[in-house]
Amino acid sequence: MTIEVFTTCPPSEAPGGKAFLDRVGEVSRWTEEAGYAGMLVYTDNSLADPWLVAQAVLDSTQRILPLVATQPVYMSPYTAARMVMSTAFLRERRLAINLVTGGSPTHLKALGDETEHDARYARLTEYAQVMQTLLARCRPVSHTGEHYRLKGATLPHRVPEELLPTYYLSGSSPASRQAAAALGVTRLAYPLTPAEYAAQPDATGGEWGIRIGVIARSTSGAAWDVALSRFPEDPAGERLHRVSARMSDSQWYAELSTTAAGGGRDAYWLYPFRTYRTFCPYLVGSYDEVGAVLRAYLDLGVRTLVLDVPAEREDLDHTWTALAAADSSLTPASR
């Protein structure tokens, strides 16, 4: 069985400049050395432009794919397609595209966008279709849709087939699943526990991906020592999370905020999420304990993992050891 594994780029927090670029380069090199497929560069109103950060990833590596979060409110589909084309033309490197609707209503309203949740996925579907058409054709493209119109638009250069992007789409709602199915792309989700998915089989279906953190070590005690040192008790973070949960219209955010799972020392752990330290669940425990949960996700059709920002280079090797415990026949897609 082949599985794709991505890491996540560090967020653009202060200090900026060379210090931030050095950190991006470091994590990029860790990702490539570990044999992983690429690195997610995510986006929201508080972060540096993901397309520019992706160039720093390319500067530091030879092979990995920057998985660039692409949001319709930030740029037109023509501009996004031209960014892909320009990267292929200037660097002869391929990008991957993570199609996102924008998770924060506050951020969207700040930009004058109050489109309803499901309608954002309909817009995202049309957005991706326009991008794909522009990149696949050498002749002028005309398009008249609900959200986008083109009349004889062309890109300056043709993108070689081997440099065309791979597309992913983020979401957990029925609207996101419908959009991913319409585009024929891999859907990425912040996952509930495997047991919770067993009770709602319509929430998975086919091959899909999850975004998670992993802290795995040879023993459960060693893993929890690391986890609790990285994510200590944080009452202020818990309060901030509760405020954020009330404001969000995201289905996955509501699901993770209200699920009863993830509160103790089971392998599936939500405390980093519930203190606003990260957006994804964590898997914590021995290689076998984490591997058992990963095995359950694989049985549900998961074939792509997007890991949280690694704190240390060794985290990536520990994660692969846990994946080997889940299925010794697994091979990374990049090798």
Structure confidence at residue 181 as a pLDDT band (50, 70, 90): very high
Quick check: 335 pLDDT over 60? no
Quick check: 117 pLDDT over 60? yes
Do 51 and 165 meet the contact criterion of CB atoms below 8 Å apart? no
pLDDT tens for 100-113 read 998 788 888 899 98
Domains of the chain: 2-332 (3.20.20.30)
What long-range pairs does 258-267 form, CB within 8 A, spacing at least 24? Answer: 259/192, 259/193, 259/196, 261/192, 261/193, 261/195, 261/196, 262/193, 265/224, 267/292, 267/293
* Rounded Cα gap, residues 215 and 269, in angstroms: 10
CA-to-CA separations, 98 to 56, 156, 277, 286, in angstroms, rounded: 18, 23, 22, 31
pLDDT tens for 50-96 read 999 999 999 999 999 999 999 999 999 999 999 999 999 999 999 99
Name residues whose C-beta falls within 8 Å of residue 194's C-beta, 6 or more positions apart in sequence.
293, 296, 297, 299, 300
Token pair of 155, please?
């890109």
Peptide bond into 15 cis (omega under 30): yes
**For 13, which DSSP code?**
P
* Rounded Cα gap, residues 77 and 58, in angstroms: 22
CA-to-CA separations, 100 to 72, 128, 187, in angstroms, rounded: 8, 10, 10
Q: Provide the residue type at 89 as one letter.
A: F
DSSP 287-311: HHHHHHHHHHHHHTTEEEEEEPPPS
With CA atoms as reference, report the closest residue to 172 among 274, 257, 262, 48.
257
Token pair of 188, please?
């990425």
pLDDT tens for 186-207 read 999 999 999 998 877 666 767 8
| For range 222-240, the mean pLDDT | 92
Report pTM: 0.92
Token pair of 58, please?
């390319």
| For range 35-39, the mean pLDDT | 96
> What pLDDT score was predicted for residue 115?
92
Place of tokens 């500067």: 59
DSSP 266-290: SSEE-HHHHTTS-SS-EEEEEHHHH
> What pLDDT score was predicted for residue 257?
74
| For range 167-188, the mean pLDDT | 96
| For range 258-262, the mean pLDDT | 71
Which secondary-structure segment (H or E) carries 327? none
Structure confidence at residue 334 as a pLDDT band (50, 70, 90): low
> What pLDDT score was predicted for residue 249?
66
Token pair of 82, please?
């031209």
> What pLDDT score was predicted for residue 203?
65
DSSP 103-116: S-HHHHHHTT----
